[in-house]
Amino acid sequence: MTPVVLIAEELAPSAIDVLAYDFDVRHVDGTDRPALLAAVAEADALIVRSATTVDAEVYAAGHSLKVVARAGVGLDNVDVVSATARGVMVVNAPTSNIVSAAEQAIALLLAVARNTASASRSLKSGEWKRARYTGVEVQGKTVGVVGLGRIGVLFAQRMASFGTRLIAYDPYIQPARAAQLGVRLVGLEELLRESDFISVHLPRTPETFGLIGEKELGMVKPGVRIVNAARGGLIDEQALAVALAEGRVAGAGLDVFVTEPTTESPLFAFDNVVVTPHLGASTAEAQDKAGLSVARSVKLALQGEFVPDA
Ligand code: NAD
Ligand code: MLT
């Protein structure tokens, strides 16, 4: 019988073409839980992005599952421990969208610095208000990078060209490695106290969830601008709303939210908060790379061949 590959979220057409040749490709909405559990019962492979929760219940329903593929970086929606216990392989595409994610963080940072979104909204509504939307320059400012991994490094390298002073908090990185990049490693408290801009580039884990909460936002340099294009919940949303209301935080750029999808948040009420609906990886290039990478891995896994690191 032809193995079934179940695609639970949007995947690049080029990747679907790769799979359709050898496999029975089926589609389901991964956020529709009953539909997912029914469809996975016949699947040999399951492909998801970030909106589908792949947990023990999914593995129990997927009697024939051999591989779960995450078309992207973060594996916080895939229970890898349960997969391993059931002998299901988990693959992702760890470098596919890192440039896009870093560029999205920079786009948000600049939009917050220059009030781009609110000024655009204002002009389109018939106002011409130049003074109201005066911003700040990035050059000469201290930029704090929380998490100096693949995306944090790309973000830092690009921000260096703006003439910024770069500091980072990442206890798992060697100071020499950071120094090579022109970044000074500091503790979290020092980063919070010194940064004019903070950008978070962490995975969501039990350790990082809520890493920047009420206490940490109480330590920031007044007027800091904060960007999160990594994962919702790394910065506590309630605490951020309070810090924005008090003016301690001058603006925020947010691509991700603690609950997704969402169309409501106290943060949406602030004119100095720029939001996007988890678009960090939503570029033609990143989607092609992520889709093709997982399509190749799924193909190898279902053909019983060695799956190299993507
Ligand atoms: P990475 O694993 O290369 O880097 C993560 C870094 O965080 C590592 O250097 C690690 O040492 C550091 N880290 C881990 N725990 C830490 C802690 N407690 N304190 C400080 N640093 C810590 O991952 P990456 O490719 O840079 O991606 C980071 C995250 O970005 C992903 O896990 C994913 O959740 C998110 N992401 C979002 C989008 C998007 O569409 N918005 C796209 C891609 C990735
Ligand atoms: C990722 O972790 O790769 C991103 O959040 C992108 C995505 O899921 O689409």
Residue 303, pLDDT > 80, answer yes
Residue 226: its pLDDT value, please?
A: 99
143 alpha-carbon distance from chain centroid: 19
Distance (angstroms) between ligand 2 centre and the Cα of 280 equals 7
Residue pair 33/71 in contact (Cβ under 8 Å)? The answer is no
Q: Where are the beta strands (DSSP E) in 72-169?
A: 89-92, 142-146, 165-169
146 Cα–ligand 1 center, Å = 9
Mutate to test the pocket of ligand 1, among 201, 204, 209, 231 (most ligand atoms within 8 A of CB): 201
Question: For the residues 253-275, what does the mean pLDDT come to?
Answer: 98
| pLDDT tens-digit series, residues 232-260 | 999 999 999 999 999 999 999 999 999 99
Cβ of 305 closer than 6 Å to ligand 1, yes or no, is no
CA atoms within 13 A on the CB side of 270: 25
> Which ligand is located closest to the Cα atom of residue 277?
1
Quick one: pLDDT at residue 172? 98
- What would the mean pLDDT of 189-196 be, rounded to a whole number? 98
CA dist., res. 138 & res. 196, Å (int): 9
Asked if 188 and 145 touch (Cβ cutoff 8 Å), the reply is no
Q: Which ligand 2 atom is nearest residue 51's CA? A: 8
Q: Tell me the pLDDT tens digit for each residue of 37-46.
A: 999 999 999 9
Mean pLDDT of 182-201: 98
- pLDDT, tens digit (0-9, with 9 covering 90-100), for 122-162: 999 999 999 999 999 999 999 999 999 999 999 999 999 99
| Catalytic (active-site) positions | 231, 260, 278
Interval 60-102: pLDDT, tens: 999 999 999 999 999 999 999 999 999 999 999 999 999 999 9
Global pTM?
A: 0.97
Question: pLDDT tens digits for 52-67?
Answer: 999 999 999 999 999 9
Query: Contact 148/178 with Cβ under 8 angstroms?
Result: yes
Whole-number average pLDDT of the chain = 97
Q: Is the peptide bond before 261 cis (omega within 30 degrees of 0)?
A: yes
What residues flank ligand 2, with Cβ below 6 Å? 49-50, 72-74, 97, 280-281
pLDDT value of position 310 = 74
pLDDT for 108 beyond 80: yes
